[in-house]
Structure 1
Amino acid sequence: MTKDPYKYFRIEARELLEALEQNMLALEKDDKGKECIERILRLAHTLKGASRVVKLPDIAECCHVIEDTFEPFLDKNTKVSADVTSRGLELLDAIANKIAIIEPEVPRINGAVAQPSPEETFETVRVEIQEVDSLLSSLSEASTALSALRSAVVMAEKIRRLTETLGHQVIHWTPDRRDSQALSRLPSFVDELRAYATEHERNLALSFRQLETQIAQVHEATNRVRLLPVRTIFSALERAARDAGESLHKKIQFTSSGGEIRIDGAVLAPIRNALLHVVRNAVAHGIETSSGRANSGKAALGSVEVSVQRRGGWVVFVCRDDGQGIDFEAIRRAAIQKKMLTVADASSLTHEEVVHLMLKGGITTSAAVDDVSGRGIGLDVVRTTAERLKGHIKIESIPGKGSTFEICVPLSLSSLMALQVEVGGMIISVPLDGVRRTLRIADHDLARSSENDSIICDGQIMPFAPLHSLLGKRQILGSRRKIWLVLVLETATGLAAVGVDRLLGTADIVMKQLSSTTRLDAIVAGASLDAEGNPQLVLDPDALIRAVSVRKLPIASPTRTHHAPILVIDDSLTTRMLEQSILEAAGYEVHLACSAEEGLTKARERRFGLFLVDVEMPGMDGFEFVSLVQSDHQLREIPAILVTSRNAEADRRRGAQVGAQGYIVKGEFDQGHLLQMIHNLTG
């Protein structure tokens, strides 16, 4: 019999308790009430049966009470009251305490049973059948590849024997003793040996490639199995927010997002404990009482939101509340009262320094110690946890609006959906949550300069760069491409676009953070392995956006004001907005027209200093517009610049013939050259 008869019961019981808690909390929100009650009854019944099997009648009795508590609501349309769910949650706590008692060799402190550490909950996890099937399939294929290698070993034995026979024939042959029969057999031996060696080399190479592929897949599948979805900790955080609100008579609405992100359990376990302190602090010190929120014009329910984001090689846990914000003066007073600072030193502290003081621990603004707060150790736990994981904490607070706590920790392993692209023959992954969209852009729709390129997407101007240039690789194509495949990236950092060679589709990859000793560009977040075990770079969307943006240099404003505006005439929205952006950044007033006919009307309504005209437009084209302007005695003195994708010498001559003072090809567009030309023409 096993030394620990309750080992597997505890594993199952904890999973059932977590599911029961999630459904009770959902029931309190009136979220699919009947379905939640059905699940509660089914889960409680399962736990009751398991308890009786291992002869734990106290736990079985608690489960029976849960059934009795919720069963009357199964066929009713009435909402389950908060008192009922509170009773159910109390029963879950009682079961959890009873499970803690049957922990093996549990230490006792002053007669009380110590609770297991948060990390223990993550030592054993339930794995999805699909993931196990993937792992078994990879192992089966690896076994097949091993069988092929065994055949290669047999072939190697044949080659060895033939080599020995051939060597024997050669050694015993001398010019004085010619063995014609032995000599006649040598060519056949050599041919047979060559055939065996060729086949062996081919089979061995194939077997090794197959085995390497399968080992890489097994490695990836194994890594994925040990990764846990972040939503695993959400129910505990929601319960903490609810219980703190109940204790302090505050109404709390808890929301969460980013639960699909999967990370290493070694990272997730300690973070859960730290976030419990942050959530309780948000309720105790941030969220106001109902009367206080009413006086501030806020909703009755205080909001506590926990979100998880991936930023390159970091995972960021964010806890945001809409409470009163940090009371910096109260913290200063508390530091003075505990004689940590003098009055003069406390009054001179900046908000950042006050936050740093908070994180040291030992300071509390609570009037009394209770179950939720008052000891001043919560943020110290958060700080030490972040430091232990080689992470950091960021705190922002706006008086009367709320506070935001960010715990940033590095990832050892992470599973994520990524968009895979090809750049310069390399396969590269970009996390999908940083990709806003993909599109195709004609080269002449890029606004070019000597320092930066830009595009417009959905009415927004953003910097653009070929991804190969950010990776320090030369462009493979010998000439400028006509069409760009573009990734539009969007994160909290901003917007940017990068050009790639090919889009390969999405994939669920396991990213491993690279060693700090590896010298790589900042845009590289980590690496994953392809099906053949080759490493592939995974890029950081935030760092990519920064890398593209720094290529964009500000345009110096002219020293004088331009009184006469410029009229931009182009049927392309993209070109109009890009040219408007360039000209306005340089200090010019800009007016727009989307056709030559509209431009001619506007030109006769007011005085312009210059016309910037597209050639190819529906109806009247740019050549006709300039020709009409030159024939009008009121407009002929206004210079015109033609901007077109046409690069033929005949088109340039025609532009000069109709009276255009400038001719710019879009594919060779340089905003510095454009601004200099405008400056020369307008004086």
Structure 2
Amino acid sequence: MNSRNEQLLQRLLAMFTVEAEEHVGSVTKTLLELDRGVEPGRLKELIEKTFREIHTLKGAARTVNLAGLVALCHALESLLALMKQGTVALDRSILDLMHASVKAIAGMVPGGGNGPTPSAPANLDSLIAQLNRLTGEAPPAPPPPMLPPPAPPEATVAAPPAPPAPPAVTQAPAEATTTQVPTGPARTPARQTIRVPIAQLDFLLHQAEELITAKLSGASRVSDLRSLGRDLTERARIRSRLTREAQADHDSQTLTWLGTKLSTLALAADNDARGLAKSVDGLLTGAKQVLMLPAANLLDPVAQNVRELSREQGKDIQLDISGQELELDRRVQEELRDALLHLIRNAIDHGIEPTEERQAKGKPAEGKLSITVSQRDGGKAEIAIADDGRGMDGRKLVAEAIASELLDEEEAENLTAGQIMSLAFQSGLSTTDGVTDLSGRGLGLAIVQEKVERLGGSITVESTLGAGTTFRLLLPVTMAAFRVVIVAAAGRQFAIPTNRVERVARVPARAVELVEDREIVRVDGKPLALVGLTDLLRMTLPAPPPADFRHYLVLAGAGHRIAVEVEQVVGENEVLMKGLGWPLTRVSCIAGAMMLPSGGQGFVLNVHDLLRNALRPDFKGRPARSLTNMAAPARKSILIAEDSITARTLFKHVLEAAGYRVRTAVDGMEAWGILNGETFDLVVSDVEMPRMSGFELTAKIRQDSRLGETPVILITSLESREDREHGVDVGASAYIVKKSFDQSDLLNMIGRLI
């Protein structure tokens, strides 16, 4: 073949690949609809549609000299023609044969994961023979090529040996079919080509053309800086010739001139940056739109796998899909494909029961599996995979976790329903009693969670024993830039996806508590383990010097929460994450790399790995910092005397959150009794209380030789001058009116007094 014909054939093959993928996808959808059963009128319409698709595909395949594909399309077209005429009735065996034929056609389409010149499938001759038996046709002679075939002999694919003749296929029940069903779902090759509307290409071209202005502006700024450098060199040369007295005046003039030049350059650079940002944002938006494809590209192959797996397992399953029109980033779809396959394997293998078991439970014989794609706020999409099968046994999950030493019995008793279900994502845990070639090893859900979280998403599970299970995957619609919280640790900067950060906070060092030699902080009144980010990353570093405040982030995922201490929270930003190349494709706790706003490089952390490391029984962080020196001020004790339970609770919460040990009394009499047996660093008291007022309590404290120096703060609604003077007279250290009460004022007052 001369070079001109070869180039023409390559262009035709590229166009054929896109066209063939659309035809195969359309026919696959039609066959799946026929699987569910349709009315006679709809049946006729679908057969006509399939006939036209196969006929068009055959003509296109002949154009690019794909003889095997032409032969299979011709045999299938002949069968569809007889079905249109009513000569052959559609039954389960014919439907299975059509599914197998379309799958073989998909495998012969060049490009994508099939290679530029895919070899014919091993069962090609068998499929054509079965189709010809149904139509009574002899195999057609191969058509002459429309373009000369390639000259090199090594490019010719040898035909496989003819298999033994299969038994005749008749219009029999489903169990009589001889069509081979694969033992497991094959991964659909990554799509290598997409169709892009001309309007989108025009938009991208326009945005790219605007970058020319930014390019010219950048060159102009470089020229200005070089000119400035030359001028400074010349001024320095002139200065060296001046007397000492003249140099001072020259320096003053030079600084004024330099300031003016730099201000002008800064203004020009700022304008350039604004224009460049606008162009880049527009280009990025356009590129994102090009990569957006309907979710049908992800769900259609999954639907085909559902059919094959259900037939292999001998289960009758109805699949409902909705939301296929919602657009998702092509890269999200490719990364998510394996995760969806894991979930449908679980649902089909040990989620949905066999027909006999379902009927015994009073369920419909046909199982139901649904996949729903829906839009969520914040640029997110939710994919829900639900079945009406057995559901998950939470008690069995807990028992497996205890047996695997992931939990002890005391921890298991305190688990919430959500935390119990999240155990299903632990590697090695499974509620099934056996292992099959599809599932049962307890690895699938752990893999799903890892893939989803690497995409910046989350996964949750809801299950009712005996009624079914629903998995909900919340994912970003696009995989471009995403928001992260940038933190500093060990002199380096790391990024944590914002959707995994519940809160960012700092607490006084004295507020950190020790429980069984582990540091904890209280978040919303509940204790939370505090672990260092450097410990989670296994970075060997000396203990940091004591600080007045400790900075941390609360990370959450899979039903678990931890507080991760960092040196500094730098801020929130949008970054573009790059994957790590070989051999660093899977480094623990690292999801990818990024460029920092400062121009340096940093790492995006994998929160799933951080949580897993922190919760491991053998995790050993840095020994808890000694709080002995800080404990004296941190755990100083305060007695609150207040008859209002609301005010008493408020004061107690405020003071405990600040790190104080707090005891309460319902009035002055009870407070005086407590003071006779215990010592406190400070007393906070209301004035108007039954049995003993705050004034009386303060006076008794001042008259006692042991308690006389204890500071007393009176908090009351009495704001007259006489009341204030009375408080001073009895010895109150401070007097705060409730009307103008502010908790920061109270804490500041306590800080000054003790």
TM category (shorter chain) comes to 0.3 to 0.5
Q: TM-score, normalised by structure 2?
A: 0.43
TM-score when scaled to structure 1?
0.46
More relative contact order in 1 or in 2 (CA 8 Å, sep 6+)? 1
